[in-house]
Amino acid sequence: MAKVGIVMGSDSDLPVMAKAAEVLEELGVSYEMTIISAHREPDVFFEYAKSAEERGFKVIIAGAGMAAHLPGMCAAIFPMPVIGVPMHTSSLGGRDSLYSIVQMPSGIPVATVAINGGTNAGILAAKILATSDPELLGKLKAYSADLKGQVEDKDAKLKREGYRAYLDGRKKD
Residue 81's domain is classified under what CATH number? 3.40.50.1970
The verdict on residue 167 lying in a domain is no
* Alpha helical stretches, state H, 88-133: 95-102, 118-130
CA-based nearest residue to 16, from 101, 86, 71, 94 = 86
How many domains in the chain?
Answer: 1
Give the chain's residues under pLDDT 70. Answer: 170-173
CA-based nearest residue to 31, from 115, 128, 98 = 128
pLDDT for 173 equals 42
Burial class (CB in 10 A: 0-12, 13-18, 19+), 36: buried
- Give the structural domain span for 37: 4-132
Q: Report pLDDT digits (tens) over 109-133.
A: 999 999 999 999 999 999 999 999 9
pLDDT for 73 equals 96
pLDDT for 171 equals 58
- pTM of the predicted model as reported, rounded to 2 decimal places: 0.93
Q: What is the phi-psi region of residue 156: left when phi exceeds 0, alpha when psi lies from -120 to 50, beta otherwise?
A: alpha
The verdict on residue 110 lying in a domain is yes
The verdict on residue 173 lying in a domain is no
The verdict on residue 64 lying in a domain is yes
